[in-house]
Every structure is written in structure tokens, then in C-alpha cells.
Structure 1
Amino acid sequence: MENEFQSAYQEEQHRLSLAMEEIDRRLERLRNTPVYTGHDFTEQVLESAREEKRQALAKSSQEPYFGRMDFDERGRGQRKPLYIGKIGVEREETSAYPLVIDWRAPIASLFYSFTGGEETAFYEAPEGTIEGLVYLKRNVVIRKRILERVADTYNRESDEPAVSDEFLVYRLGENKDNRLRDIVSTIQAEQDQIIRAAKNTALVIQGVAGSGKTTVALHRLAFLLYQYKDQVSADKMVIFAPNHMFLDYISDVLPELGVGDIQQSTFADWALDLLGLDLPLADPAETLSYWFESGSLREESMDEAPGRFKGSVHFMELLQAFVERLEPISVPEGDFSPWDGAVLPRAEILNWFNEEYKPYPLAKRKERVLARVHRWIEMELKKSPSAAALKERKKKAGAREKAYAKKWPQYDALTLYKQLFQAAKGLPADTAAEMKASLPTAIFKATQSDLRKQIIREEDLTALVYLHVLIHEVESSQRFDHVVIDEAQDFSPFHIALLDLFVKGHSFTILGDLSQGIHEYRGVHAWEEMSSLFAPEHTGYFALTRSYRSTLEIIEFANTILEQGVRGGITAVPVFRSGDPVRTISYDSSVREQSLLTALKELSSREYRTVSVLTRTLKEAVELHEVFTSAGMDVNLIDGGKKQYEGGLSVLPVYLSKGLEFDAVIVADADHEHYGERAWDAKLLYVGCTRALHELWLLHDGSLPSYVQAQTK
């Protein structure tokens, strides 16, 4: 076997040298070609293409490919070695296959979908189904032009057993830095199926913690841009992520895949920008306790939570009915007279509003009617008998036109939302009473109180954007070609139905984990709440159950929390990568801070790039940060306001850790006081535990929740 490995290594070293020689030669030629800076359009296009090739070849020159597959296409009778890379590189001479095949190309799908066996393999190409035999599937690791590793995961002609997971486990065992990495070289068959799914589909992905669902979604964007390059553009795609720090954490993946200009935002930022509002939102971490204190939420009735109601399609329909009731009361009472003797009958204005401009939404109808009134005034002014009369009439008309415009309703989303909850005047009494009766009393009172204090909560934003759409409509410039929603379990059906108004062809990638639904007072409890919004032919569902992040010990420990604390959570199937046992460390409450400091010092002394301390609340994170820095440790505080994840040592509340991963994790205060017996307490602790790749420690005062099993070292 050693000789076989040496032979494979030497073969790949020779092939790498040849590939780099050709790439370097072409890159040098392009770099020596003078850059065109003139104004000829054709030459500008050619220069743009040359620059694109320069950048692609520069990237390829460092790590040209990561995989090899020997394939004999049926009917050709010739076995060809195909090399797969992040960026395709064509050969200069005519050849059946490129020097490097882009991982998104149809034939490259074989590298991911073929998992061994003697049967015929196939892939879907534009010309139809292509069949053949796979003789060899090989992973290679090239870093900075140096061949570091060769691993065969399938060899038809070898007697050695397949080691399909060996290369994957090797890559998973690497330490974590402060950025999410691409997984092009380790995409698994079930992940590849999601990445290559058809564009005009609302794809729902249930992925357990560490299943790579976020990375899969990012690779899907890169694939869609490759496969549908004439139909979609990067600047018309958007990723909605839970917070700014998470956006920074994933920011390197798309550029590494050769894709830029994709919009990245939180839903809150996008909504506030669309609405033109500059308002601080209430802290989401405080909202749950707020609803409890207001009496509008009971622990045993999460389905009746305010966020669940405001996130329902029923509330969406209620808002539509509300706007429809505004139509009959939009045009002010009485005729319009710009000066004595000139009258524009209200009946004529009503005809414009209700008939001629009926296809338009309310705000545009108002705008067009007032413009029509202005034109009528100008026409009447032309009938003035003298210059003096014209001057006098212009003066009066200007004042009366402004006064008349002020009589019309103010069509902006926040004003209407306040009217709905009777926090502002403007509705007829019967309409106000009818709308009030359609809203749950506790929610009505709590929201009314919020709006009077100028408080807007995240669950209000969906309604505000929808009101904006109803009165203004969606502009073509606001439409997306594709929408990715990460941590979608914290979104609502209303979110999805609203965003569907902004996306072409129901083109969604919706991903999350119901077991991590720590905001269940506003999120979904089942994916059917979202998928049912679309026709069956426009939806797809995938479940990713294998976890590639954590060690076997960490995953089994976290699964127990779900099984005993949530009773219904979706547990993970680990990739066999064993590590240190999970530690539950008890301390006396009088030495809590010293115990946490000692634990952090011990883990930070090891060869880990990222270590985090997770607290239950932001207040506790701030306090511990002061303890650690006072002890001379360089620790980053992550408080929700940060836009960058620094890596290294961090302290943060557990609810901000979703989507992130660390080499080692310390869960502070994993006791009964901080994590009670409620299902969402268990989910929150599960989120914290599943952030760890290699080591997990839980420190507590001796009173562990019932769903946490004490571990001995």
C-alpha cells in the first residue's frame, strides 16, 4: 500500500507541475498584454474579459484543483482523468475536457454524487443524461502551489478498501479561524443535491447543528450564478442573516468561490432601509420577558405568542383588509375650489380616484389625483380675464391646493400601523372598532403601549413593510432574483409571504434548524408553516441530519439535551471523529469568576485559534469581559453591536452564537437557575453546546438542569 501511495503522490506531483506551468504561462501572457483604457466599447468588453481571466488564473495558480476523477464516458472508450477546482481553466489547445473543470459544471457533479460501487455512473448535461464508468476518485490538498496530501476515496482497480470518510475527517479536524470556509473539496452527495436544485423553487432545508447548511446555501448561490448566468445576477441576490457579525463571519466564502456583489443584510436593516426609517429597535433578548410581563404570553401557550400572531398569514390578511377599508375614506369631503367661482366637483375627483387610477396602490392614486388637480388648476388659470386676475388667482390657488392636499390621509406605513392600534387619530370610529375587535386584546394593548412610546419590535417590521407594499407596491428595482434566509426557524410565515412579493419565481433557499428555535415566541414550529405558502410544484424539502462540526462526544452530549429537554428535537448523526470527553465542572458560587477565568486560561493555552465563553445574558457577558481583561487576557466582547468577528478569545451571550463555531467552548453558569426546565431553555443550551468543534466544558454551581448529564473527566 505504501508503494501505491508513493506512486499516486509522484503522479500527482508531476501533473501539478505541468498544470502550474501552463497556468503561469497564460497568466504571464495576459499580464504582459497592455491594459486597454480607451473608450471603444468593443475593446472595453475584451479588456473586461481579459481582466476576469487574469484574476481567475491568479487564484488558480495557488490552488488549481482539489479533486481528480477518472471517467470513461460510454461510447467513447477512453478513460480520462478529470481535475475539479474552484475555478475552471480551459486548455489552450482543443481538447475534450478543460485543464481544470469548474466544480459547478454538470460533469463535476459526479465527483460529489458518486460514492462507490461497480454500477454505471451518470450525470445530467444540457444534451441529456451522460453515462459511464468511474475508475478513480481522488482528493488532493494543494496549498500555495505545494502538494500536501493525496487520498483515494475510490479505486475500481485496487484491492484496498475505500476510505471515503478519511479525507473528510482530516479536513474537519483542522482548527477554526475567524471566518467560515468554503467546502468545495468536501461537499457531500446530499449537500450537492441541494446546491444543484432548480432555481425557481422555494427550497426548505432542515439542517441539524453543524450540517453545513449555511455553507451549502452560499455554494448554491455560486451554482445558480454559473448555471443561470443569463437569468440571474449577483447584485439581485440577497442573503438574510441573523446579525451583522454573522454576515462578517461568512463574508469570505463567496469571494473565495469567485462570486461577488451579492447583497447581505439582516431583515431588520433591509426593512428599515426600505421604509426610510431611522429608529432603534427594541432588544430582541428583552422581548420575551416583556411579553410575559405584559400578560400577553403564557409559558404553556407559545402558539398564542404576540410574535406568532404578528407573524401569521392571518395578520397579513387583516392588514390587507385594513388598507381596503381606507379606500372609501381617502378622498376628502366637499368640492375643491381654488378661488371663488371655480369649482372642481368631488364627484369628478372620486371618478379619477375610483375609476381611472384604480389599478394603482393608494399612495400612487393619491399622487396622481393631486397631480390631476394641479393640471386642472393650470387649465382654469388660462381662462383668467386679465393679468391682475391671473396673479390673484395663482396666489389663492397655491394656498388652497396645499390646504387641500393636507386633507388627504398620510400614506406612510408607520402612521397607518399606529392608526391600526389606535395610537394616532385618523380612522372613523366604526372602522377603528372593527379593527380593534379583530386583534387579540392583550396584543392590542401591549402594541398600543409600545407605539405610544415610539417602540418598534422586530416582529412589527414585517407588518410595516407589507403596509408599505400595499400603499406603494414593489418597484422593479427592489425585486430579487434569489433570496437566502438563514436561521429561518426564527422567521415567520408572514416573512416568507412578504418576501415572495419581492422575489421572482418563488426562488428561495430557506434554511434552519427547528431544534435551535430559541425565539419560538415568534418563529415557526414546523416547516409546513412556510412550505404550505407555495404550490407543491414550487417547493422542495431537504433534511441534513449528519453533523460535520463537532466531535462524536459533543454531538452525543448535545443530542441528550434535546431528547430529554425538548422531547421532539431533531437530533444529529455524527461523522465519526472522536475527541476529548465533554466536561461538566462544578464550582462553589464564591469562586465562580475565578473558576471561569481558570478554565479560559487553560483552554487558551492549547493550540486552538478560537475559544469562546457563552453566557446566558448580555449583562453577564459584559461583567465577565471585565473580569477577563482585568486579569490581563485579550478577550473580545461580542454584544450584538459588533459588525466583525475577531476570532481568538471571545465572550458573548449564547443567543448571539447561533451560526458561529469555535474550536473550544465554555458554557458559563450551566445551572438550573440559568437554564430551567422549559423547552426553550434546553434549546438555548443545545445551541451553546453545538458551537464547539473539539472541546466543550460546562461550568455550573452544582445544580444542573435535569436534561444535562454530569460528565466526569
Structure 2
Amino acid sequence: MTSPEKPSLHHALAQERAYHDTCRAALSAMVDGAQEHVVTGEDVSASGADAEVLGYQLRSKAKALRELPEGPLFFGRLDFDSGEHEHAGQRYHVGRLRITEHPAAPPLVVDWRAPVSRAFYQASARDPRGVRVRRRFGWAPGSLGDSVDLTGLEDEHLEEGRAHGEAGAGIQAEAEAGALGAMRGASRILVDEIERPRVGPMRDIAATIQPEQDDLVRGDLATSVCVQGAPGTGKTAVGLHRAAYLLYTYPQRIRRGGLLILGPNPTFLSYISAVLPALGETGVRQSTVAGEIGRHPVKAADGERAGVVKHDARMAEVLRRALYARVRVAAEGAGDNGLAVPDGSYRWRVPGDELARIVAGVRSEEPPYAVGRERVRTRIVRRLQREAERRAGPPTQAWVRKISGARVVSAYVDAVWPRVLPEEVVAELLTDPAALTAAADGVLDTDEQKAILWARPPRSYKSARWSAADLVLLDEVAGLIEHPEGYGHLVIDEAQDLSPMECRAIARRAAFGSMTVLGDLAQGTTPWAARDWAELLGHLGKPEAVVVPLTTGFRVPGAVVELTNRLLARLDVRVPAARSLRRDGEVRIRPTGPVERAGRVGDVVEETVCAVRDALGYEGSVGVIAAESDVARVREALGAAGIETAGPDELGARVTVLGAGAAKGLEYDHVVAVEPAAIVEAEAEAAQGEGMGAGARGLRRLYVVMTRAVSRLDVVHARPLPFD
């Protein structure tokens, strides 16, 4: 289709609203039709397996369409020129889902992940990619997709070398809409969408993806990539949109292996939970590392020293030794007589030295422990089978099964390669000093061994109270016994906080898949936080992954970035300084009295209440973030002042009060950071002696807190600021 003559802006809006009504009707027909196909598919004539697969596919499609969140059906349009290319003279509306009136008919809306849609994100006046006009649509905030909510449109005439054309329906183009607008053709709609106030769960960014983000989103499935993303650069959104792109582009391969989103905690998963459904992808597994490896509930807590040792990569060797120490080359009592296997009135014999060679040979191959057990059995039976062939010709399969299951063979295998549970191995290691010393010799020093021994050993592994770090150890042993099922692709967010042992747990689940690793070294706050991506990627089993820095912030405004970059210089990590393409934002430093009068908590809380009252004069969410020990009194003071508050798990609240440890990954339009010195000290006390340096973790925690602000930041303090 070719573009019509330029109509009036109001007439253009009327046309687009009518087109949206047509798309809405077509989508309703698609939903109804998908359900009808489920019904008719139940009567299809096919094999049982084929019918089951077809039924699953039809039901899945119908379920996905029914569960689509309501919202605008398109956010952009591409009008191509009449040049010599595949899409010459065509017009495409771009949205979150492909919509068509009939499977064989041209789409009314093309999916944002389709190859043709890439021009929407990559075309520019310098490189139009065949696009004559790129149109963006402005929708009323919170629109559920009613056509009257289409309030504006904006055209960019790329073939004329102009990045911006005309705007309408109250959306006025500006010669300069901030640095972001300058970069992307002064698109007021784009800027407004990026800067829209943040309340509730995370939104998708399909309408605002930038070229460098698009390059990462559309990477090949076989390629693992690590995104070092400064605050506000959209790394989490990039990871989620990459997941949606891979599901769209490689459906069969992803379906075979599965796709897993790993986040740092359940609150974060709740925050991002709406993104993939909004992009048309439902049923994707989203979990935490603890959720993936949690064989038991966490009922114990380690001291920090014990936790650091248990999460250290050296524990993998200690556990491997402890497990394979159970293998015996010769069974006790077998002696030199070997093995005698009854077969009717005859006894087949395997000499003791030959049995020892079989066990030693399997042990040297280092197979998974459970595989090794069966390999020993199989080689003993094969040895007997060869002897039987020489005596009476090839035996039957029934004979092979009988010999394999013979009691004496099973008893021998159990003696030299016993069955074992991960709980038995770990419990013995953490309760028996002699066993730990034998397994950790030359790996852990005496103090480290003492740190991880249980102070009160349970009667048996069945009554053990496991800590979070113990679960990581259990998963390591379980992986040595039998490899877990893997995924085709994993998206791992806040990866800088993963321990080496947690990375190994993830690597086992991606042995034949790829990864998208997201994080920021400057925001590492665990005792084992990574300082270098190369080492962490090695533990993840993806040393070849390319590290791509994202330093341009679209969410965090320049005023906040300028302040936090002062803190960044003190964090002892080598990451590029962040920069913002937003020239707006506001930072207010609110001292409560002379700095020599340190610790005036009462004044700080009073000033916090004032800061929150001021923040409520603006649109958007307010996050009040303090040291854990101050959260209760801050929340109590706000309640006494008549300000209703919520905790971090209550998404959508206007005012949220939370501890600094819960802030990672979240965003608030207005952040009130309460007494930064207290936030730093709370972490510094726990970090002393753990190698990161006194206060380093506290400074990183404060960096996380301050970069949660996407519009305004208030810093309330009575004590000297750590970044002055």
C-alpha cells in the first residue's frame, strides 16, 4: 500500500482510530477462532502422539490469546518508499502481537519482533532503510486499548533527511526535546513514554527500544551475551525483550529446551512479571536461584564467614572428593576370589583383579556418579556375556537382564559404588571433622573448615536444618550424581551478586543452552559479588560470552546520574561512568542540622516526613529507603503524619518504605534516601574481614539506593555524606 496525501492531523487521527477498531475486531475473531480450533482439533484423526501434540499446541495458543493483557494494539507505523526492496510501497502498523483477519491475509499489525519491524527501531535520517515515514502513536496513560485513547501521532519523514515532521492532537513537536529527543529526532511521544511516571509493575519498552538495545534483543539464540548496564540503561528490559524475541524467532528450539528467567528475589520477579505477558508470551518460567535449587526449606542461617566459604568455588572440589571417596576399587570381603554369579547349576566367575580394573577404569573416566554405578554393572555383565558366548553362543536378552539383576552383582556394585543421596554427603561433611579434613586437605585451611562445621550436628541428615548456602552445596552434589535437565536459554538478572557456587548451579542447567547475563558490577552487594565479568562468566560456563556495556541512561535523569557518579568513583570497580540522555530531574540534599551533631535520628525522620509530603505533590511513586534498623520508625512517623505507606512487595502503592537491601532492581519516580551514612555502616559492619574492604559493600548499597530514582532524589541526612 502506498501512503496517501497528507490529511489534516485530526482526520489522520480519525483514520487511525477506525483502523484500531478494525484490528480490535480481528483480534477478537482470532481469540474465538483459536478456541474453535481446540474443539475441532479434539476430533482430529491421527495417532495418539500426534493428536496429543496438536491438542497441546492448539490449547496453548488459545490460552495465550485469552490471557493477553488489554492495551493499545499498535504503537507505530512504517511507510516504505517505492525503491527496489522487499517492502517497496508497503505500510505496516507495528504492535506487540501479529493481528490478521485470516491466516493467509496480510497482517493488519506486524509483531515488533518480525524482521520488517527492525526498521522501526533502526531507521534514521542518515540510514532510512527504505522507510519514507515513521509514525509514532501517543496513547493516554494506562489505556486499555479503547480507540478514543489514541490522542496523538507524530511523523518522521526520513526520506527527506528530516528526523521529525509534524505532530498532532495536542502533542507539539519541539526543536529540542532534551538530549534524548535530539538523538531520536526530537520525538516528543518517545520522550513522554520513556519519562512517564512509574507506578506498579515494570512496563515493556517495545515502543521505545533504542538501536543499541535492539541489537542486543535480536542477538542469535546460540550466542551468549553479558550486558554490563549502568542504572537506568534498561538492561532488565533488554533481557526480557530478548527472551520474548527468542520465543518468537526460535519457537521449536526454545520449546524443546525451555526458557528460564532468573531474578534476585521474589519481589523483583513480581515487579517484572507483567512484561512478557504484555508482549504476548505467557507460561515462561520465572524463578530465583533458590527456587531452582531448593530441595528443602531454609530453616537455618549461616554466619557470614561460613556463608563466604560455602559459596566459594573451592567447595566444588571438596564436595567432589567427599562424594567419590565412597567409591572402593575392591569390595570388602571380596578378596582375591572375585565374583561368583550363579546361573542355574553353573557359576560364572570374575577374578578380583579384573573387577578392580573395571572399577578403577570407570572411576578414571569421571562420569556422573549415578552413571558410574551403572557403568560398573554394565561392564561386569559384558565380561560375563563374552564368557557365555565362548561357552554356548550368544545369550538372549532375557539372560543378560537376569545376570544384570542378579543379587550378587547388585551387592557388589553397592559395595564398591554405593547409592548415595546429596543430603548424606553434605551432612557428613559438615558434621564429621575427620571427613571434612580428608576432603578439604590442601583446599580449605583449618579456620575455613572450622567455620563451616555445624555447631550442633543433627542426629541424621533427615533431621538437618539446611541454610541457603547448604542448598547450593546440595545442588552441587546432586549435579555430580546426575546432571539436571537444562534449558535452551537463560536470562539472569542482577548476576553480579551471584556466588561462584551459584554460578555453577546455573551452568549445569545451561550446559547445552545459551545465556543473557545482566548486571552492574557497581551494584554488587553480596560478600562474594563479582568484580570482574570474565571470572563470573567462567563460573557460568560461558567464558566466550561477549561483554557489552550499556552506559546511556534513559530512565535515570542527568541530575541523579551526576551525583551518583561521584559515588561510583569510590566503589573500586572498573565500569564506565553512566551518562543520561535526560536533562531533567532534581536532586535535593536535605541536612537536618550541623554535621558535627551526628546521629540525630529524630530530626532525620521529621525531615523525611517533610520530603515525602513534598514528593506527593508530584505524579508517580515514592520510595523511602533507609537502613534496615530505621525502617520501622520511618514508617511509624509517616503513618503518624497521616501518610499511608506500603512495603516493597505491595506493587502499585503510592508511597513505599523499604530497607536498602530490598531496593535492588526496583524503580521509583521519587526516592527519599534516609541517612546515607547509616546505610553504608549497616553493610560495612557485616563486611569487615571478608575481603571486599571495610565499607565497600555499604557504598555499593548506597549507590543502588540512590539510582532507584527516575525523576527526583531527596537525600536526608544529619551525618556527613559518604560521597562528599
Q: TM-score range by the shorter chain?
A: 0.7 to 0.9
SS of corresponding position for 1:543: strand
Once the two structures are superposed, what CA deviation does each residue of 1:11-32 show, in whole Å capped at 9, x if it has no partner?
2431331342254156358648
Q: 1:687 aligns with which of 694, 701, 704?
A: 704
CA contact (8 A) 1:565 1:678 kept: no
CA spacing shift, 1:557–1:171, aligned 2, 3 Å: same
Question: 1:510 maps to what in 2?
Answer: 517
Q: Does 1:167 align with 2:186?
A: no
> Quick one: structure 1 residues 534 and 480, their matched pair in 2 at CA, closer, same or farther if it must change by over 3 Å?
closer
Unaligned runs of 5+ in 2: 166-174, 176-183, 381-405, 459-463, 685-693
Indicate the SS of the match to 2:135.
strand
CA contact (8 A) 2:239 2:516 kept: yes
Going from structure 1 to structure 2, the CA distance change for 1:596 and 1:499 (only over 3 Å counts) comes to same
How far apart, CA to CA, are the structure 2 residues paired with 1:330 and 1:663? 68
Q: Is the 8 A contact 1:615 1:668 kept in 2?
A: yes
Match of 1:264 among 281, 286, 295: 286
Offset, 1:93: 9.4
Q: 1:198, 1:116 → 2: CA distance?
A: 27
What is the number of equivalent residue pairs in this alignment? 633
Pick the aligned partner of 1:441 from 430, 443, 446.
Answer: 446
* Partner Cα distance (1:694, 1:253) in 2: 22
Shift of 1:79: 2.6
**Corresponding residue for 2:124?**
115
2:585 equivalent among 571, 575, 579: 579
Q: Which residue of 2 aligns with 1:254?
A: 276
Rate the CA distance shift 1:566–1:165 in 2: closer, same or farther, 3 A. farther
Report the equivalent of 1:139: 136
| Cα separation, partners in 2 of 1:29 and 1:318, compared to 1, 3 Å | closer
Asked whether 1:189 is paired with 2:211, we answer yes
Residues 328 and 415, structure 2, Cα contact 8 Å, conserved in 1: no
Higher mean alpha-carbon deviation, 493-502 vs 681-690, is at 493-502
Partner of 2:491: 484
Q: Name the structure 1 match of 2:394.
A: none
Indicate how the Cα distance of structure 1 residues 153 and 530 shifts in structure 2: closer, same or farther if over 3 A, else same.
Answer: farther
Does the aligned pair in 1 maintain the 2:675–2:719 contact within 8 Å? no
Q: In the alignment, what sits opposite 1:698?
A: 715
Q: Contact 1:153 / 1:164 at 8 angstroms: preserved in 2?
A: no
* Deviation, structure 1 residue 592: 3.3
Query: Residue 87 of structure 1 aligns with which residue?
Result: 97
Map 1:399-414; keep pairs closer than 5 Å.
Answer: 411-414=420-423
Tell whether 2:474 aligns with 1:464.
yes
Which sits farther off after the overlay, 539-548 or 211-220?
539-548
Aligned AA (1:280): K
CA distance in 1, matches of 2:573, 2:323: 42
* Alignment partner of 1:613 is 2:613: no
Q: How much does 1:510 deviate?
A: 0.6
For 1:442, the aligned partner's letter is D
Describe the shift of the 1:607–1:277 C-alpha distance in structure 2 as closer, same or farther (beyond 3 A).
Answer: same
Local SS of the residue matching 1:167? helix
Q: Within 5 Å, which residues of 2 pair with 1:214-229?
A: 214-229=236-251
Q: Where do residues 303-452 of structure 1 align in structure 2 (5 Å cutoff)?
A: 307=308, 310-312=311-313, 314-328=314-328, 331-334=331-334, 347=352, 361-363=368-370, 365-366=372-373, 411-420=420-429, 423-424=431-432, 427=435, 432-433=437-438, 435-449=440-454, 452=457
Q: Is the 8 A contact 1:19 1:99 kept in 2?
A: no
Partner Cα distance (1:84, 1:500) in 2: 37
Query: Identity over the aligned pairs, expressed in percent?
Result: 24
Q: Is the 8 A contact 2:26 2:100 kept in 1?
A: no
Q: Residues of 2 paired with 1:592 and 1:330: CA distance? A: 74
Relative to structure 2, which stretch is displaced further, 647-656 or 402-411? 402-411
Give structure 1 stretches of 5+ with no counterpart: 122-132, 295-305, 374-396, 709-713
> What displacement does 1:487 show?
0.4
For residue 320 of structure 2, give the secondary structure of its aligned residue in structure 1.
Answer: helix
Change over 3 Å in CA distance of 1:330–1:84 after alignment to 2: farther
Aligned-partner SS, 1:635: coil
In structure 2, the CA distance between the partners of 1:596 and 1:410, relative to structure 1 (3 Å rule), is farther
Q: Separation in 2 of the partners of 1:420 and 1:330?
A: 23
Cα distance, 1:328–1:106 mapped onto 2, change above 3 Å? same
CA drift of 1:439 comes to 0.9
Inter-CA distance 487–673: structure 2 relative to 1 (3 Å threshold)? closer
Residues 552 and 579 in structure 1, CA contact (< 8 A), matched pair in contact too: yes
C-alpha contact 2:645 2:653 (8 A) present in aligned 1: no
CA contact (8 A) 1:333 1:346 kept: no
Distance in structure 2 (CA, Å) of the matches to 1:450 and 1:217: 42
How many Å separate the matches in 2 of 1:256 and 1:541? 28
CA drift of 1:410 comes to: 6.3
Asked whether the 8 Å contact 2:488–2:510 carries over to 1, the reply is yes
Contact 1:515/1:569, CA 8 A, preserved across alignment? yes
2:31 touches 2:65 (CA, 8 Å); kept in 1? no
Residues 408 and 371 of structure 1, relative CA distance in 2, 3 Å threshold: same
For 1:156, which of 156, 159, 167 is the aligned residue?
159
2:40 counterpart of 1:41? no
Report if the CA contact (8 A) 2:309-2:315 is conserved. Answer: no
- Separation of aligned partners in 2, 1:324 and 1:550: 52
Q: Does the 8 Å contact 1:70/1:136 carry over to 2?
A: yes
Deviations along 1:165-191, one digit per CA (max 9) or x if unpaired, are: 533321122111120000000001111
Which one is further off, 72-81 or 521-530?
72-81
Query: Quick one: distance in 2 between partners of 1:364 and 1:447?
Result: 30
Offset from partner CA, 1:255-305 (integer Å, 9 cap, x none): 111111111111012111xxx32333537xxx5xx33xx8xxxxxxxxxxx
- Out of 478, 482, 493, the residue aligned to residue 473 of structure 1 is 482
After TM superposition, give the deviation of residue 512 of structure 1 in Å.
0.1
| Contact 2:96–2:279 (CA under 8 A) maintained in structure 1 | yes
